[in-house]
Amino acid sequence: MLQSRTLHSSFVRLQSSPKDGSTGVDPGYSTTKQTIEQEREEPEYAPKLSHMSDPFPLPFDPRLQGLSMSSEHQSEGLVNGVEEPIPLRVPGREPGEETRETKVKRLIWQARKRGTLEADLLLATFAKKELSALQEEELDEFDRLLDEPDWDIFYWMTDRKPVVERWKESFETEGRLGWRMRKHAKNEEKETRFMPNI
């Protein structure tokens, strides 16, 4: 890119040369060794690398301590201070539109194939352990939770980020689905967890 910029600037200078027979060389143009070295240096506009330039810092990086971990997604649903439902439901997944067996199978698959390894592992092991025993209302709640972004779910389960208002009751009321998911993420039994077989 640097080379093409140099060629382009030379081309512009040659094109703008006078037609009156003068030398055609721009008086301010020089090809000294110092000028060439300056052009090879890093351009001024290049971003300086730092640990904060990483778009995906690790969630437990000590450099993130004290920083706000709330995502833009969490505030997108606020309209005049009132929270609106953000995640859109895919048609065909409304309560009563699929059998319990089909729903459980879909949720098991959906919990393990989300794309974020950390969230996949927590959700898949929780689903294997508790999904078949959940009541219908909790199955629907788990289904709605899976519509949230992976990192938000991961941070809520690991208690690393404040839970949005629509999920606060679930995650902060003992015995509710979100609370049990947090307890599962703490791994108080100190189990070695692997992605469960289907």
Please name which of 182, 134, 189 lies closest in space to residue 160, comparing C-alpha atoms. 182
Task: Please report the pLDDT score of residue 49 as a whole number.
Answer: 47
Are the CB atoms for 124 and 147 separated by under 8 Å?
A: no
Task: Please report the pLDDT score of residue 193 as a whole number.
Answer: 80
Are the CB atoms for 134 and 142 separated by under 8 Å?
A: yes
Taking 50 as the threshold, does the pLDDT of residue 10 lie above it? no
Task: Please report the pLDDT score of residue 95 as a whole number.
Answer: 65
Domain chopping of the chain, boundaries? 93-198
Task: Please report the pLDDT score of residue 155 as a whole number.
Answer: 92
Taking 60 as the threshold, does the pLDDT of residue 105 lie above it? yes
Could you tell me which residue, 129 or 1, shows the higher pLDDT? Answer: 129
Taking 50 as the threshold, does the pLDDT of residue 99 lie above it? yes
How is residue 63 annotated by DSSP? G
Phi, psi angles (nearest 5°) of residue 182: -65, -45
Tokens of 76: 């997108």
Residue 20 to residue 127: CA distance in whole angstroms: 82
The two beta strands, 78-79 and 82-83, are antiparallel
Residue 65 to residue 80: CA distance in whole angstroms: 30
Phi, psi angles (nearest 5°) of residue 108: -60, -45
Q: What is the mean pLDDT of residues 116-137?
A: 89
Task: Please report the pLDDT score of residue 55 as a whole number.
Answer: 57
Q: What is the pLDDT of residues 128-184, one digit of tens each?
A: 998 889 999 999 999 989 888 888 899 999 989 899 999 999 999 999 999 999 999
Task: Please report the pLDDT score of residue 190 as a whole number.
Answer: 86
Taking 60 as the threshold, does the pLDDT of residue 20 lie above it? no
Range with lowest mean pLDDT among 47-56, 117-126, 138-147, 160-169: 47-56
Q: What percent of the chain has pLDDT over 90?
A: 18
Mean predicted lDDT score pLDDT of the chain: 72
Residue 64 to residue 164: CA distance in whole angstroms: 20
Task: Please report the pLDDT score of residue 7 as a whole number.
Answer: 47
Taking 80 as the threshold, does the pLDDT of residue 16 lie above it? no
What is the pTM assigned to this prediction?
0.55
Q: Which CATH code, of 1.10.150.250, 3.40.640.10, 1.10.287.130, 2.60.40.10, is assigned to 93-198?
A: 1.10.150.250
